[in-house]
Each structure stands twice: as structure tokens, then as C-alpha cells.
Structure 1
Amino acid sequence: MANSNNIDIDAIVSGKQAFKADLLSDFDKSQWPDRIDYVARKLTDGEYIVNPQAQNPRFLTGGADLDKAARDYYLRGIGALTGDISRSTALPDTFALGTLLVEFAGLQAGLEHVDRRDVPPGEILSRLITRNIQRQTRDQSAQLARQLRADAETPRELVAELTSVPEVAPVVEQALPDPDDADTLTTQLAELDLTTELWDHQLESLALWLHHDTNAYVDMATATGKTVLGLAAVAHAVDSGSLHPADQQRLSDIFDGDLPDPHRDRPNDVLIVTTDDLLGVQWARLFQDHCHTPAAFTQVRESGIRLPWGHIDIRSARNMEDVDPSDYRLAIFDEVHNYSTRGGWGDHLVSFIESSCPVLAMTGSVTEQLESLVQRADRSFPLVYRYTHQLALADGVIPDFEWTLSFTEVTDSDSLSQFRETASHFDDVVEYDAGTYHLENDALAEAAPELPNATVDEVAGDYVSGSALAAGLRDHGDDDIAPTKQLETLASGIGNRTIHRLNLDADLAAVVELAEQALSDGRPVLVLTRSYREAKEIWQELYDQHGDRVVRRLDADQDAAKQDSIIRSFDEAETDEKALIGPGKRIGQGNDIRSVEVGINIARPGSGVNTSLVQRLGRLLRDAGGKETVSFYHLVGVPPADATIEPDGESFVRTIAEFFGQVLEPDTDGILKQPSVSIEDDVASDIVTLEQLGAPNVRDDPRATAIETAYATAIDDHPDTPTVATDWFAAAFGDQTDPSRVTDASTGRVRREPDDDSGSGQQEPPEGASSSDDETDDSSTGPESGDGSDEVDESDDDETNLTVEDNPSPLAEHYDAFRSLGIIHRAIRESARTTFPETDPQQRWMDDARSIITEQGWGDQDTGYGRQQMERSPFKISEYREAYGTEDRITTFETVGTQTLSPAITALLDESLAELESWVVPVAPESGVPLPVLVESEAELAQARALLDEFPAEPPVTLEDASNDETTSGSSDESGEETDGSDTTGGPEVGSEDDTSTPVEDVRGVPAAATEALHAAGYDQLDDLRRATDDELTAIDGISAQRVTMIRAAVGRQQDDS
């Protein structure tokens, strides 16, 4: 008990029994926390009398009395609410639960008059408490604290979170805000107090920026936390902000206690410059993720975010004409490598550099143009820190693994029963519209005919949240109980809806099946559960006392040292048939597990991927013991359709958008790759219900992100099938990751996953996701995605007498030749480790070349070669590849002209693409010119598009179909021998004796658009190029460093660069 030093045990027991008899005996155990919260609210106004009709009634006067009388009942109620009885004994005996409940109630009451209808008072308070907890904990407790939900609206939600990580309970008392300052709580919540500790490279970057008079730039690879660094700079600079206390101390130590002045004499406003609107939304998300600022506080309106302490002005780089540096405390320029010229956006950057306004610029790719730009400024603007992709992988900052959203059933439980019962009552009386709960008069009167009309009118109306609706119903009953039993059931269920949703139990059979498959394949597996109970159940299914497999689990009775030894014993076991099972919040705290190849995480239904979990997974799964692939499954339980309501659907849609949005916002969430999707047949219709319930509320919400809106809009086009398993993301955002989809007939799952050329009855992924090369087997980054391969392959080999070996297919070869070009383009992007702007000729060329095999099509195409191959061809692309090449690509093209990569491209890609010699580019059928891999100007783009126009819209399926049709773009001569594609330009081979006088326009690696610039600069022949230095060529207007690399690869190294 919380007050075990009280020697009057009989009085305590008697008091508890009297409290239960008076307050709880008529209610289900899961409702006990509601009733005790009611008593806590009463205690904020004075004393509470237990059983006032008794001869000797008992008086509760504060939190300590409530703790004695109700602590055990409250925690048992939390155990019933969450479906996890271990929660009832999780908190330390010394934890003053009663005091927390009373103080929470008092602070919540102080917030009720604050005009913030968009954020419930309980959520404001919970966010402040959670933020304070996360800022006050250290080491492993800090890692656990970061997993607390910040948006709880009731004290029972907060306590439920604390029982899942009881290690942080000791700091709760210090985390409670001052009750005398209730009026200022919303202002406190708007302050930029970071809850996240910075990575070492972020803190070092911040320190160096401060050291260089707050005027410098950093080079940090994508997804390594550039924007979080920017947020830290803002938090340090403004009056109402601060770093995490641990970082504040580290920074102070670096400067020996003498931190540079944050320019507090300047205005308190901040300018953030981004290259597009999506990055502006990402910045708004940063405040929510790392300061627990409610989304309602950080809506981007007009030119930015308005907070009580100042204005965060978020501008796109193209909208800077009226901006004055003197108006800001600090300016952040994001993705600054796109500010390529002084005549463009670069002028604005230079004007800020040359002003007195502190500037932090951030890039993921330092270009020569950027270096030249900042060097021209009249004020020093140094590059102070560089953090590469390789370093980030080595440090575990970037998780690098394939992952799957795996949807499965939820099992019967008390939580599901309450979830379903609440849904039935909700549908009777409540209408929901984008966050607003509306009680309709007529519906309420029909559901509760015993209510007087005046009461119906008072209760009916709009409520901002489920907890607010519950409170509204109970305000019109006695003793904080709704006026009727049905309405009280609704109030209890809707007030606890989030707790019930988060504690639905996913079917563990799906976990066991995934783990068994991994063990059978000899792939060490890590299973992250939600509780020790789940860990034990899975262990019992996987453990084989007579077999050789090693199955370890963590147990609640083990201390930290014992658990560490179990983890080490798993890692050191000399077998690949091994599994480690334990709660996700316990595994990975300070441990690097090197031997894992498959990770399975059991999610709390309705929750996203927690950022700290993602980062720990990056550490746990990195290296993978030297294995080639690592897979991660995020298992999500889906409630049945008859148990769901509109708020559940809205939560589902927003959560799914978060999962996919990580690809576009990697700094916010931390996973680079789009998930594959696996859906069990039994829950497909339940997912459709959730999507259809949630889409209208998200689509019409002006605060919805672009990703949420795209998903919600796509749902309208798929009323009968799960939209999450379609190409909605690729269709909306183009050249992002896009795993293929196949149907796994053996398991009854619909999957979207790479590297599957399964046999009959399964859909062929014609976009080339079946490549098994290390750098191409991830179709999630393939530019050839989105070709409509989600449709069922209707071809039937039994209906034709054609054999692949005797029927070369122009259609199949056109498809695979362009797929090859797409894979080369992907390697170009990965080797550059940057994103080409949409307006860049190279990006536009990659999009154009990709379109010819996608549903979009090119020119006169109704659809691209990928869809045509799937719908028109009598045999699968995998069969054709096997007959004319390897299992993953065609190597012998019978009907389509191709050329292997030039030495220039080979030099450019270096080791970015394995087996470089086997990848090809298509040759235009009329001109005989190979399609370029790179274009750097509008002129080159126009020439490339003209070559693309030469390819047929619908190639014949076979040569027999072609007959004398000249649309076949074959390079075969009359004898059927394949033309040598090594040099289709006709120029002399570099290195031959007579090549020195070759005109520059005939030199491979020099496009026609660049020859004019070279002639103008006096470089007319190949020998001139050989004699020139790299610096001399780069100095020519229109000749980039990348182009010089290609020229140098074609003509040889210069003899003397001095």
C-alpha cells in the first residue's frame, strides 16, 4: 500500500471496504477509475464523505486519504480497462496515486475556462506532464519515458501509460505543473521545450554553429536529423524555448559555462525557409513530436505558425520578396542545396548571410554551385559540420531494413466487448464530423425517453472530444453518472475509447506463423511484445525442448542484469535457428543485438511507430550479423467492423498516412523505406470499413496533411477493397517507394512485397520488383513502380500453344529494357544521395523514361509497357527472363536494340550498382541512338524526349504478331544475329591511334547540347579535352562537375593537372 507506515491496518481495511461499497459496488471493474476520478474532482473543492448515511461516515480530505481508500481499486480498474492484470501491481508502493489524481483534477478544473475548444483541458495537462517527465528522466528511464503517449485526455489514460513504464513514476510528482499557475498552462504548452535529446552529431553541429557566431551551414545526409537540429537552434534562440536539460548541460560544458549570446536584443520571431509546402508541414510536425505541442497550436496559416510568444514565419524559397532580415531572431534555410544561383533563390540566402540576423543553413548535398554562392557573400559563412550516410548507418541513426505492415485479427477480450458495446450506443445518438461529436436532440430523446425535454436540450450539442462528451453526459446526472444506464455506458465507453483501442489483443497466431517461418529459414528472429504475458504465450508456442532451436524470453521476475544476460546468450548462440522474445520497451535499452535478421513488433492497435522504437530497431537490426537482408514486421490488430465508429476510422486513416509519410518526412519519423502491406483475408473487409468511416473526416479537414488528404481521396476510388494495399502513395507522390503486390495463396494474405516471381495463381509484378540484386531487389525505391501491377494477371498459359523459347517478344523486351534504364536511374539517385528538384531536367527525364512502362504511359500510349505485358502477353515476364537471360533480367535481346553502360556512367556509378556490365539502356529504333542516362539542360531534355518518341506505343507481343509491321524496333539483322550495341554512335573507340583529332561532338560522354559551349571555349577535338584540367572544364559555362566526370571517363585522365 502507498501508506504502509500507517499502523491502523484495521481502519485502512475498513475504510477501503466502505469506499468500495459506497462508490464502486454497482459498477463493472473497468468503470472504477471513472468513479474514483469523480471523487478526486470533489476533493479539489473540499472534503468527500463516504457513505454519509452511515452512523460513522468517513471523511476524505485530500490525495493521501484517497490513496488509502481507493489506490488498489483504481489500479485493478486500470488492469480491467487495459486487459492486462499485471498493471494492477506495476506502480511502486511509494507512488502517491491519490495525490496525482487530485492534483490532476484541480489543474484540469483550472483550465476549463480557458478558450481552447480545439484542445481538451485534460490533453493540455497530460502533454505538459509528459513533457516534464521526459525532460527530467535520464539514461534508460529517459528511453522509456519517450514512449509515453502525450495526448491522453483523462487521468486514467495517464495512469494507464505510467503502469506500462513504472520506472518513470518517481518523477511524476516533480512533473506536475504548479497548481497556482493554471491560467498559464496553455502558454506553457506553447513553449518550445524539447523532450528529445539530440544525437551526438546534432549537438556537435549546434555547438559549432554557435562557435561560428551563429552564421554557418551544415551538411547532413537525408534522415539524419537536419530539421531536428534546426528545431534545436530555434529552441535555444527564442525566449520561450529550451533544449532538453541534458543537452543544455552538455552544451554548457562545451563552452565552459559561457554560452554565446542568443541575440535576445532582436525580435522573438523566427523565419524558416523551405523549398516546398510539404517541408513546411514537416516543420509543424516537429513541434508536435519533439515539444508535445498540440497540432491545433501549430497549424500553418498564411505565412506560418502564431504562438503566444511569437511568430514562426514559414516561407517557401520562391516567396521571399517582402522578407526583412531585421524582423527575426533567427533564420533557418532548409535544403539549401536547391538555392543554386545567385540570380534565383540564392539571392535571398546571401542577403541574410550578409545581414546581422543569425542564419543556420542545412543541406544534404554540398554542390559546387552552393559553395560558390556562399563564397561570394561579403560575410563568412562556413561549412561547419558534415555527417554522411555511411556514418549514420554505422551509428544506427538510419534504420536500414525492409518492413511490412501486417494486419491481422484481434481476439475476443473484455476490451473488445466494451469496444463493440460502445459502438452500438454511439451509432444510436452521436454524429461525428472531423473531431466534433454532435448529440442530436431527436436521437437523444428517442434513446432516452425518460429524460425531460429541457435536459435533452441542455445535453444535446457539440463536444470537442470523447472525454468532453462523456463529461457532458455525466454533468446532467447525479454523482457524476449519466442520467440513464445506456447513456452512462456510452459515457464510460467513449471516455475510455482510446484505452480500449490501444489494448485490443492482436491474434498471436500471426506472430507465431511469422516466427516459425523465420526459424525454418535459419533467420534469427526478435519478437517485441506488448507485455510479458504475450512473451510467455509466444514462447510456449515456439519452444521445442527436444529440438536444437534456441528460444529465449524475458520474464517480469528477472532483474535488469538477468535480462541482459539472456539477451547476450541469445546473441552468442551458435545457431541461426533462434528467437528472442520480450516486451519492446525492455529489449534494446543499451544493447546492440547483432544476430537478428527478422524483427516482429506487436503494435498497440491505433498507434503509430514510436520514434524511439524506430531508432532502437535501427540499432538492433543493423549489420544483421553480416547477412544480406533484414526484415521487420509491424503487426497491427484490426477491430471487427461492427465494433468501429467514425473516430476509429479517422484514427486509422491518419495512422496509415503516418506510416507511409515517413518516406516523405524521414527527419520526423525516421524510416526511409515505404512499408509493404500484408492483410489477412479475414480482416480485409474490416479495413475497408475503417477506411470508409475515416476518409470523409480526414479529407474535409483543413488541418490534414497532404499525405492524409491523398490517402483519404484514394479511399473514395476503392469502396470495396483496402486502399492501403493499393498504389495510392505512388500515384499521389510519384517516384517514391512502391513495393509490388502479390497474393500469398498458402497463407491467405494479400501482400505487397519485393522479390517475388511466384508461380501460377499469383500476380506477376511486371514493374521489375523481382530483381534479386542487392541494390535492386527493393522495389520500394524502384522508378519503374506504379505500372498498375495491382490488377490480377489474367493471362492463362493453357489457352495458347506458344512457347517462350520459340517466340521472341518485342513487348517483353521493350518492358525490360526500360526497366533496366529505370534501375540505372535509381542507382544515379542513390549515388548522389540527394533529391533532384522537380524542375531539374534530370528529374523530368527520369519521370519521362519511367512513364513509358507505367500506367501513365508516354505520348500516344493508353498505358505503359508494364500493364501491356500483364494484359496482352500469354506468358509471364519471369518466364521470358528465364528463357532469355537470368531469373531477374533479360540479357539476350532478340528484337530490341540495347547498349551497355558507357565507361562514363560506369565511372559515375562506381560501386552503386552491382554487375554494371549487365545493365543496358534502350536504343531508339529509328535514329539508332541510345537513350541518355543523364541530361543536364533543357536542350538535352528535348533531344532525349525526341528519342523516346521513336519507340512504339504498343509493341507486338511476338514476331509472328509483328509480321511486316515496322513498329518493331529490333536491332537484329536479317540473319537474326544481335547487333553489337557497344558503340552505336559510330565514333572511334577511345584509345585508338587516330582518335586524338576526333571532334568533340563525336566523343562519347559529350552530348550535343554541350558541344557548343566547348567549341566556344576553344575545345574542338578530343585531344583538347585530354589536355584540359578538370578545373578548366568546370569553369566553362554550362559544363558541370558531373559532366566533367563523364568526359574524363571517356577520354582518359589528364596528363598534368598542375
Structure 2
Amino acid sequence: MDTREGNNYSLLENFVLNASLEILGKRSHGEKFYHEFSIFRRETIYALYPFLEEQKINLLKKIAIESGLDSEKIDEVSRMFCTGSSLFSLELYVQLNELKKFYEFFDKLLQSDEKLANILGEPKILIDLWGHQKEALQLWFQNGGKGIVEMATATGKTIVGLAAIQVLYKNRKKLNVLVLAHSKAILRQWRKEAISKLGLIADPNDNYNTSIGYGNKLRIEFNTMQTVYKNPWGYETDYLIVDEVHHGAGKEFRNALNVPCKWKMGLSATIEGGERESVLDQYLGKTVYEFNLEKAREKGIIPEFKLYIHKDFLDVKESVDFYLITEKIVNLLNFINSTQKEEIKLISNGKFSSFENLSDFVHLMANSRSKSDQIPAEWNSLSTLLFRRRIIIHRSSPKIESAINLAKVVARNKKCVMFTMDIETCEKIYDSLSGYVNTYHVHSNLKEHQNNEELDKFKKCSNGVLIAPKMLDEGIDIPDAEIGINVSSSKTKLQLVQRMGRILRNKPGKKPVFHHFVALPQSFIDPEDSFNYLNDLVWIQDITLKMGITSEIYDADTIAPEDVKTIQELEKRSEEVVCRYHAKYDKITSNEFGTIRIKSIVDSIEQEAKVKLITLLDNWDGYISDEQWIQILKASYDDESMVSIPNHLWLLIIAERKPENIVNLLQKYDN
């Protein structure tokens, strides 16, 4: 019966209450039970009367925490009965007595309305922190309230930032907080999290730029880096939180980190690159805590999941376009090398007078923005050709059609999140899926309220697919999606981690699945394309080893034999190119993933495991496949479920998959 039915509900509640009291009274202490419960019931109704429904729950949670109880107990009771009702009071009374916490809880409830309002208004984390969150918070405070916390997506880094608010406020009784992020959607999520997790009184549906707080004692504001960097000194605060802090390393937004403050915390899934690290260290302090995916799995924070790889060739037209653009790129690079040696020497500050490969060219262009007036027209033309070729891969029709067909099947019964490279692809997939399954999409060309509505609809539905380009990579909470479908190539491991993070939520009975789609061209520019294609496979194997999962080709039995042969030849040729390049330069370099050195890989293998690995390889006969390599590495670590050896597949590739060559490399680069 609906609680809004007035007298009818009251009559029913009183009937059930009296029947329950009759049963419980016989099991308890007779008159003492009736008398004590009657007082508790009356005082609970009086105490909660001035507050709204959500405020009642938050107040009781805060009192429960102060009494040494898990706030989840309040949620359990509120799910059964209307908060503040007689049956609610009865169930709460019984549970408090069973936990021997009744008198402590009741004493805190028996306070004036003003004191109860103070308890409700003050920030208090309403959930129990995980061990790694407590450790991160402790190390940040030990570092003087400065520094960066790196935690894998879905492991609760937002809570660490909010928990610091509770501690700082408790010590000072007055606090101003500024949360910075590069996206309005992320700030909206932060605002909602601050209200729900700190139990603050505010409308969670207000816009991100509506501050929240408690009187003149606490004020939490939210703003974008794009706004603050213009005049950071105008946003002075006590405590600065910078989410997805790697965005702050960019020269255009770096100034936003100059906000005057006493305490500052940077948060990120991971930070890649030495320059980024040094820049962020300078502005926010060193990294004080790291909690990666491997640790999250070990502690049960992130569930196990399946990783499927889908490989699709370009269609005929795409293959022709890709081939023609590839020829133009090769010819134009040769022309630049033969006719513009002086220009290359000038712009590279004398480092070289010709481009060894495309990586040299792309890297120099990226670092020469300040010399744009000196860049020859042919260089800009070459950059345009490279972009056009990359777009063919990202928007490959067979890859997208395969992903659409998959979504039509799996989104009938489960919730999926699909990641695209750009808005055009997002809209194309949205139109194709609409009418087959519940379909939602978000992107920067939609108005903010439209994106919010789409996200809210998806969160409330029981099945369907949410499609989004890059804006969904970071910070948006999709707590019950089970399937991720990635049709956009991730340029960095960070993007992959963030995309998986949208589906990896540790909930009972949930078994996430991640599908990664790869488009395969058949005309390569060596060595650049070989490097980038193989690197796609390398990070898949990195995740496989780190997270103790298996990756497999989706529906491998249905792939045509001629396609299987073509893929094998493509991968073999790419590996041969890599081996020749490494033999010449003793490293692998690409603009897509930086520089890989075998010594760094060898150094990341523990010494004891290295000895076992050499023994295993000495007894191995024949070439080593990817799957066999994973098993050998695990065996060298005594069959640990998760092993972290970054870029380990490059070691196998450069050794030509020969066990004796791997041993030689291990011994050559061993400290």
C-alpha cells in the first residue's frame, strides 16, 4: 500500500506494528521492551519530523557512524519501511539492540533540533572507506596535505578527495573547497557525489556551478580548468581538488593549477610520461599513493571480466583510399627528405637533416608549434594526409557494422556502453541501433540538459546501449553497465583503463565483458604502422597478464581461413620489421606510444622470477606463441594470478619468439 494513502496506511501500519510487538514482546523482556520501544518510537518521530525524507536518512546515517555503526544498517531498514514510520522505528530498535548499540545511538538522537541540524549539515563520509582509500588519505596528510593520488578507475578516488574534506572541516570548523576538472559532466558527477557521500543538504539536480555547503562554515565550488586558468588568483580557496589531473599538465591549462590554497590533491587513473610527471609534481606535489588495476583485483575491488578482441579488415573502398593515401605519404616524405634538408635542420635545432621515419616527422611537428611560421607547406600537407588515413581506421565500416550487430544482440538483455572516436560515428551508430534496442547517446554537440537526460534515462533502464565519444572516457559513473564495446582506438593506456572503468564496478553477480574492435589495413608504412599495430596487441597482453584474465578472438571459429592467413602474414611481417629496426637502433620509437627499451622490460622482472624464467626457457623447444608466453611468465612467478611486466610482449617479439634469444636478451640487459 502507498504511504500517501493517509488513514488507510496508518491503520495498516498500526495493525502490523501491534502484531509485531506482540511477537517480539514475548521473545524480549515484556513491559521493559514495550516501554523502551514506545519512548524510542516517539522520540524518533519528533527528531525526524523537521527534515525531508533524504535528510532523515542522512541524519540517521551520521548518528549511526558516530555510534560506531555501519551506515548501511540505516539503508537496510529504510528499504523495508518508510523512514520515520512506526515499523521503521521498530526494526531499527530491534537491530540496535542486537548490535548492543541502542543506548549510544539513542543518546545522540535525543538532542535539540538545532544540534541535530548541525549534525546533518556537517560533512561526514556516509560509507566505510576501503583500506586502500584510508592509506591514500593518510599518506596525503603525511605529505603536508599536498600531492597526487593515482588510483585505477572504479577504485574510489573521488571518495579519497571527499574524505579529506571531512577531516579538514573537523579540524577547522570552516572550510572552502574548489573542485577543478576539464569537463562539466565530471563536475556534475562530483557535485552529486559530494551531496550523497558527505550527506549535505542540496539539490543534486542543480547545475555543476551551483555551490553546496553548510551555512557560512563550508562551501564547495566546482569549476572547469578552461575557466580558471585565465585568472587562477581569483579563485583562492582552502582546499583544491584537481580531478583527472593529467589534463593540467598541458601548457594551455597548466596555469589553472596556480590557484592559491593551503591544501591540494591531484587525482588520476594514471599519469603517463616523464614531462607530465615533472610538471604536475611542480604544481601539486609528488605522487603520494598508487593503486593500480592489479592491486584492485587482488583486493576484490574490481571484478573479473572477459576481454574479447574483434579484428575486421577495411572494406574495398576503404582499402583503396588507405592505399592511395599511404602512397602519397611515402612520396611526400621522400620529397621533403630530398629537398628540405636545411628546413629540417633549422626546425630540429640541428639534431638531424632528414626524417628516418614518420615518427621523427610527427614528433618534430608536435614540438614545433612555436615555429609555425617556419613550417613548409608540404609538412602541413603531410600532417593532413596522416590525419585522413587515421580517420579511415577509426570510421571503418566493417568494424562499426560488427559492433552494431553485437550491440543488437547483447543490449536486449544487458546494459552496454559503446565508445566511439568522434561525434559523427556516435550519431551513425545511434541511428543504426534505434528501433532495435533501447538506445541513448551523449556528446558535446548536444545541450548539457540533453546529455544529463540521456544519462539519467540510461541509468534507470534495465537494458540498452549508451553511445559516446571521448567525453565518456573520464569520471562519468555508469554503475550497473556490464558490457563495454570499444570501436575507437585508444592512443594511450589511460584511455583504455578509463573505458574499462565505465563497466568494471564491483557488484554481486555482475560479470563484465569488454569488446575491443581493431580495423586492419593491408598497406603499411614501415616501420610506423607495424609499431602501432603491434602496440595494440602489446597493451592487450599487458592487461591480460596484469589482471589475471584471458583475452581471446571473438567467434574465432567463424573467421574465414583466408582472413586468418592474411592476419597471420600481416603480424609476421610487422614483427620482422620491428626486429630489424631494433637491431639497428636498440630501441623502438613511435609517436603513438613513445620509446620502448628492452632494458626497462628486463628490469621490471623480479630477480627470482628472472632466474626461473631462464630455466623454463632453457627447457623450451620451438617458437613461443602469445598464450604460451603468458603461461611461461606466470610460471616464473610461481603461477601468481596477476603479474605486472609492462610491455613484456615486445621482449618476445624482438627475440623473434625464440627461447634462446629471450635468454640472451635477459642476460645482456640484466643488472
1:261-660 to structure 2, matched below 5 A, reads: 268-294=175-201, 296=203, 299-300=206-207, 302-308=209-215, 309-320=217-228, 321-324=230-233, 327-341=236-250, 343-349=251-257, 351-352=258-259, 355=260, 357-368=262-273, 369-377=275-283, 381-400=285-304
Describe the shift of the 1:356–1:292 C-alpha distance in structure 2 as closer, same or farther (beyond 3 A). Answer: closer
State the SS of the aligned residue for 2:221.
strand
State the SS of the aligned residue for 2:486.
coil
Q: 2:485 corresponds to which residue?
A: 782
List runs of 5+ in structure 2 lacking aligned partners: 1-6, 307-413, 420-436, 441-446, 475-479, 503-515, 602-645, 657-664
| 1:572-615 CA-partner distances (Å, limit 9, x unpaired) | xxxxxxxxxxxxxxxxxxxxxxxxxxxxxxxxxxxxxxxxxxxx
- Distance (whole Å) between structure 1 residues aligned to residue 651 and residue 93 of structure 2: 65
- Distance (whole Å) between structure 1 residues aligned to residue 46 and residue 165 of structure 2: 33
Which of the pair has more CA radius of gyration? 1
- Distance (whole Å) between structure 2 residues aligned to residue 971 and residue 297 of structure 1: 56
Q: State the 1:381 CA deviation.
A: 1.5
1:804-883 to structure 2, matched below 5 A, reads: 829=493, 833-834=497-498
Q: Tell me, yes or no, if the aligned pair for 2:416 and 2:482 is still in contact at 8 Å.
A: no
- Distance (whole Å) between structure 1 residues aligned to residue 97 and residue 113 of structure 2: 27
- Distance (whole Å) between structure 2 residues aligned to residue 705 and residue 195 of structure 1: 30
1:963-982 to structure 2, matched below 5 A, reads: 981-982=569-570
Residues matched between the structures, number: 443
- Distance (whole Å) between structure 2 residues aligned to residue 31 and residue 917 of structure 1: 59
- Distance (whole Å) between structure 1 residues aligned to residue 23 and residue 450 of structure 2: 38
- Distance (whole Å) between structure 1 residues aligned to residue 654 and residue 472 of structure 2: 30
Q: State the 1:276 CA deviation.
A: 1.9
- Distance (whole Å) between structure 2 residues aligned to residue 779 and residue 195 of structure 1: 26
- Distance (whole Å) between structure 2 residues aligned to residue 282 and residue 88 of structure 1: 47
State the SS of the aligned residue for 2:42.
helix
State the SS of the aligned residue for 2:570.
coil
Q: Tell me, yes or no, if the aligned pair for 1:216 and 1:381 is still in contact at 8 Å.
A: yes
- What letter corresponds to residue 279 of structure 1 in structure 2? I
Q: State the 1:981 CA deviation.
A: 3.1
Q: 2:148 corresponds to which residue?
A: 217
Q: Tell me, yes or no, if the aligned pair for 2:183 and 2:224 is still in contact at 8 Å.
A: yes
Describe the shift of the 1:210–1:1006 C-alpha distance in structure 2 as closer, same or farther (beyond 3 A). Answer: closer
In the alignment, is residue 208 of structure 1 matched against residue 208 of structure 2? no
1:637-716 to structure 2, matched below 5 A, reads: 709-712=454-457
Q: 1:537 corresponds to which residue?
A: none
Q: Tell me, yes or no, if the aligned pair for 1:202 and 1:225 is still in contact at 8 Å.
A: yes
Describe the shift of the 1:917–1:201 C-alpha distance in structure 2 as closer, same or farther (beyond 3 A). Answer: closer
1:9-408 to structure 2, matched below 5 A, reads: 31-32=10-11, 75-76=17-18, 94=32, 96-107=36-47, 111=50, 120=52, 124-138=55-69, 144-145=73-74, 147-149=76-78, 152-156=82-86, 158-159=88-89, 161-162=91-92, 165=95, 167=97, 171-172=101-102, 174-175=104-105, 181-183=112-114, 185-238=116-169, 242=170, 268-294=175-201, 296=203, 299-300=206-207, 302-308=209-215, 309-320=217-228, 321-324=230-233, 327-341=236-250, 343-349=251-257, 351-352=258-259, 355=260, 357-368=262-273, 369-377=275-283, 381-400=285-304
Describe the shift of the 1:714–1:1056 C-alpha distance in structure 2 as closer, same or farther (beyond 3 A). Answer: closer
Q: State the 1:1043 CA deviation.
A: 11
- What letter corresponds to residue 183 of structure 2 in structure 1? D
Q: State the 1:280 CA deviation.
A: 2.1
State the SS of the aligned residue for 1:324.
helix
Q: State the 1:171 CA deviation.
A: 3.8
Q: 2:464 corresponds to which residue?
A: 726
State the SS of the aligned residue for 1:296.
coil
- Distance (whole Å) between structure 1 residues aligned to residue 600 and residue 271 of structure 2: 22
TM (normalized to structure 2)? 0.51
- Distance (whole Å) between structure 2 residues aligned to residue 106 and residue 989 of structure 1: 78
Q: State the 1:334 CA deviation.
A: 1.6
Q: Tell me, yes or no, if the aligned pair for 2:63 and 2:109 is still in contact at 8 Å.
A: no
Q: State the 1:1046 CA deviation.
A: 7.1
- Distance (whole Å) between structure 2 residues aligned to residue 390 and residue 994 of structure 1: 30
| 1:786-813 CA-partner distances (Å, limit 9, x unpaired) | xxxxxxxxxxxxxxxxxxxxxxxxxxxx
RMSD (CA atoms): 6.0
State the SS of the aligned residue for 1:833.
helix
Q: State the 1:205 CA deviation.
A: 1.8
Q: Tell me, yes or no, if the aligned pair for 2:181 and 2:187 is still in contact at 8 Å.
A: yes
% identical aligned pairs: 14
| 1:733-776 CA-partner distances (Å, limit 9, x unpaired) | 99789xxxxxxxxxxxxxxx9xxxxxxxxxxxxxxxxxxxxxxx
Q: State the 1:344 CA deviation.
A: 2.6
- Distance (whole Å) between structure 2 residues aligned to residue 203 and residue 160 of structure 1: 34
- Distance (whole Å) between structure 2 residues aligned to residue 281 and residue 208 of structure 1: 28
| 1:329-369 CA-partner distances (Å, limit 9, x unpaired) | 2111122123232x1323322x24xx552111122203224
Q: Tell me, yes or no, if the aligned pair for 1:305 and 1:311 is still in contact at 8 Å.
A: yes
- Distance (whole Å) between structure 2 residues aligned to residue 836 and residue 130 of structure 1: 32
State the SS of the aligned residue for 1:149.
helix
State the SS of the aligned residue for 1:981.
helix
Describe the shift of the 1:194–1:1043 C-alpha distance in structure 2 as closer, same or farther (beyond 3 A). Answer: closer
Q: State the 1:286 CA deviation.
A: 2.7
State the SS of the aligned residue for 2:297.
helix
State the SS of the aligned residue for 2:280.
helix
TM (normalized to structure 1)? 0.34
| 1:702-739 CA-partner distances (Å, limit 9, x unpaired) | 99995654454999xxxxxxx64332x336999789xx
State the SS of the aligned residue for 2:147.
strand
State the SS of the aligned residue for 1:339.
helix
| 1:680-716 CA-partner distances (Å, limit 9, x unpaired) | xxxxxxxx9xx9xxx9xxxxxx99995654454999x
Describe the shift of the 1:131–1:662 C-alpha distance in structure 2 as closer, same or farther (beyond 3 A). Answer: farther
Describe the shift of the 1:275–1:733 C-alpha distance in structure 2 as closer, same or farther (beyond 3 A). Answer: closer
- Distance (whole Å) between structure 2 residues aligned to residue 33 and residue 917 of structure 1: 57
| 1:449-500 CA-partner distances (Å, limit 9, x unpaired) | xxxxxxxxxxxxxxxxxxxxxxxxxxxxxxxxxxxxxxxxxxxxxxxxxxxx
Q: Tell me, yes or no, if the aligned pair for 1:217 and 1:384 is still in contact at 8 Å.
A: yes
- Distance (whole Å) between structure 2 residues aligned to residue 387 and residue 705 of structure 1: 35
List runs of 5+ in structure 1 lacking aligned partners: 1-26, 36-72, 80-84, 112-118, 243-261, 403-658, 665-687, 696-701, 716-722, 738-752, 754-777, 785-821, 839-848, 853-892, 922-958, 960-969, 1015-1024, 1031-1041
Q: 2:392 corresponds to which residue?
A: none
